[in-house]
């Protein structure tokens, strides 16, 4: 599976397209009110990626265990200080409701944390390369 995100930005125009294999979706993300750039910053998107991945993977893993999830709430946070430095203190928490016991839901959450791809990508410290 190959995932691509494309951002085109100009004065008061922000066009965002994401693609997984052959499935393309356009996202509505406003530009900054000042004119140039995106109104949502990279740190916010990083936290959203963690929350989205965990949410989607919870449903996937619950299905394997024949658990019906009725509600998921995920909050991810990260701290950023000095310009140009990596973020730190990245954390997330989840509240999950479904047709399983509290113990089964807790085990599902712990298991999903171990298999969530975005979380594991960050944990592995994957190399990022700028292509010229």
Q: Are residues 6 and 65 both part of a single domain? A: no
Q: Are residues 14 and 61 both part of a single domain? A: no
Q: Domain for residue 131, yes or no?
A: no
- pTM > 0.75: yes
Q: What is the pLDDT of residues 29-72, one digit of tens each?
A: 999 999 899 999 999 999 999 999 999 999 999 999 999 999 99
Q: Are residues 67 and 46 both part of a single domain? A: yes
30 DSSP assignment: P
Q: Are residues 25 and 75 both part of a single domain? A: no
Distance (Å, rounded) from C-alpha 20 to C-alpha 31? 24
| Residue range of the domain that includes 100 | 40-126
Q: Are residues 120 and 63 both part of a single domain? A: yes
3-state SS of the chain: helix, strand, coil percent to 5?
35, 35, 30
Q: What percent of the chain has pLDDT over 70?
A: 100
Taking all residues of the chain, what is their mean pLDDT, rounded to a whole number?
96
Q: Are residues 52 and 94 both part of a single domain? A: yes
Q: Considering only residues 13 and 62, tell me which one the structure prediction assigns the higher pLDDT.
A: 62
Q: Are residues 76 and 20 both part of a single domain? A: no
């Amino acid at each position: 599976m190959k995932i691509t995100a494309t951002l085109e930005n100009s004065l008061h125009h922000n066009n965002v397209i994401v693609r997984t294999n052959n499935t393309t979706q356009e996202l509505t993300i406003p530009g900054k009110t000042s004119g140039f750039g995106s109104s949502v910053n990279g740190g916010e998107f990083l936290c959203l990626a963690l929350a989205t991945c965990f949410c989607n993977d919870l449903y996937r893993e619950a299905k394997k265990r024949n658990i019906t999830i009725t509600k998921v709430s995920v909050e991810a946070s990260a701290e950023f200080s000095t310009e140009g430095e990596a973020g730190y203190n990245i954390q997330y928490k989840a509240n999950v409701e479904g047709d399983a016991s509290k113990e089964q839901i807790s085990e599902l959450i712990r298991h999903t944390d171990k298999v969530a791809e975005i979380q594991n990508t960050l944990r592995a410290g994957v190399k990022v390369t700028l292509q010229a």
